[in-house]
């Protein structure tokens, strides 16, 4: 069990919170909430230790196209990078509809 924290710059506020996924094998849960200010805070709670670099790379890629000021919490049960990106984009889609 490892808890990781990341921060990214953001340009715009968002109005709606959103949730996606499930804490099941090879999957994860994303909670996305509006945050005051010009940055995004990400916390990851993962059952698989030792993957900080991979998390950082995946989140960097996500925030290269997303600029919402958000607090994102991830409960991870061993999702692959592809699933992580998919769930993040799903949460964004829910928050923007």
Partner 1 sequence: MSNFQGVDFVRRRSFIELDARARAKALLDEGSDRELLGPFERIESPWLAQQGVTPQSDDGCVVMKGMIDGAAAVVVALEGAFQGGSMGEVSGTKMVAALDLAAKDCESGKQMSAILLLETGGVRLQEANLGLAVVAEIFASVLRLRRHSPVITVIAGTVGCFGGMSLTAAASSYVVMTPEARLGLNGPEVIEQESGLEEFEASDRALVWAIHGGTQRYAMGLADVLVDDDVAQVSRTVRDCVGKGPRTEHRSEQVALYRERIAKLDASQQINPVSLRTAWAEATGGREQ
Positions touching partner 1 (CB under 8 A) are 1, 17, 19, 22-24, 27, 29, 31, 33, 45-47, 73, 75-77
**Residue number with CB closer to partner 1 (6 or 78):** 78
**Residue number with CB closer to partner 1 (61 or 71):** 71
Hey, how many other C-beta atoms are within 10 angstroms of the C-beta on 48? 12
Q: How far apart are the first and last CA of the chain?
A: 34
**Residue number with CB closer to partner 1 (21 or 62):** 21
CB of 13 vs partner 1, minimal distance in Å: 17
Contact (CB, 8 A) for 55 and 44: yes
Torsion of CA 51, 48, 76, 92, to 10 degrees: 10
CB of 37 vs partner 1, minimal distance in Å: 19
């Amino acid at each position: 069990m490892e808890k990781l924290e990341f921060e990214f710059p953001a340009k715009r506020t968002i109005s709606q919170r959103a949730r996606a996924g499930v804490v099941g094998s090879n999957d994860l849960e994303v909670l996305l909430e509006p945050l005051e200010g010009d940055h995004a805070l990400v916390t990851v709670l993962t059952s698989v230790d030792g993957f900080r670099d991979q998390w950082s790379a995946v989140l960097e890629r996500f925030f290269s196209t997303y600029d919402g000021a958000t607090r994102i919490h991830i409960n991870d049960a061993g999702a692959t990078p592809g699933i992580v990106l998919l769930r993040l984009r799903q949460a964004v889609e829910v928050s923007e509809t």
